[in-house]
Structure 1
């Protein structure tokens, strides 16, 4: 058994290649094989968001605080709020992040497949991000 004590692992700023705006990531778990679970607490400042991406085995998002958005390719984004849980199936092109005026924090959970948890695509355009939500 491993116990990771609160405050013992530093927050890290998310890579600009995969995110727009200021995003902070706090590790939850990256379990050793044969386990595949990977989880992060991700905090988005207003206007911040991921790039388009997919996950080989899907992704679950659980919103911890704030109000944000999640978007699928070719569809307007949807509003997500604290307490909401989102399941994104394997291979589905999507993005997620804060609202333009609100921050958002979520727990992102995904499994590794052959050492890979995500396939990153292009940045989300302002036009896609600012499309009125459903």
Structure 2
């Protein structure tokens, strides 16, 4: 059994090329063969979000705190909450992050493909795309 203690985990800023606003990444992990699972805990301050990206084998997000938004390319923005579990299918271009007024933390879990790749980063989500927000009603 292996336990990664919170006090020993390294926290890094989300790279500016992949995030808008303040995001931090803690507890990044990958598992040894035969597993190909990777993950991390990601915290987004209000207004922070990822760039557009996709995962070759999909991604699960487990929301541990706050309120967030997510959208698939050409799709509407969806709001999610602490305790929700999100699934983004393989190779679907998407983004996720906090709302403009609420912080959000999630555990991100994804798998690497046969080339060792678990994400493909793309362009940043524009303010206009982000601020559309979820549909009301």
**TM-score, normalising length: structure 2:** 0.93
Distance, in Å, in 1 between the alignment partners of 2:133 and 2:98 is 14
Structure 2 residue 65 is the aligned partner of structure 1 residue 37: no
State the partner residue of 1:110.
Answer: 110
Correspondence 1:53 to 2:16: no
Q: 5+ residue gaps in structure 1?
A: none
Per-residue CA distance 1:2-41 (angstroms, 9 max, x = gap): 3322211211111111100100111253112221111111
Tell me, in whole angstroms, the C-alpha distance in 2 between the residues paired with 1:32 and 1:128: 38
- Partner Cα distance (2:97, 2:17) in 1: 15
* Aligned mates of 2:3, 2:84 — CA distance in 1: 27
How far apart in 2 are the matches of 1:19 and 1:43?
Answer: 11
How much does 1:133 deviate? Answer: 0.3
Pairing 1:71-90 to 2, within 5 Å after superposition:
71-90=71-90
What value does the CA root-mean-square deviation take over the aligned residues?
1.1
**How many Å separate the matches in 2 of 1:76 and 1:37?**
29
Q: Which runs of 5+ in 2 are unaligned?
A: none
Tell me, yes or no, if the aligned pair for 1:76 and 1:128 is still in contact at 8 Å.
Answer: no
Distance 2:3 2:63 in 1: 24
CA displacement 1:63-117 (0-9 Å, x = unmatched): 1010010111112210010011111000000000000011000110000112111
Aligned with 2:69: secondary structure?
strand
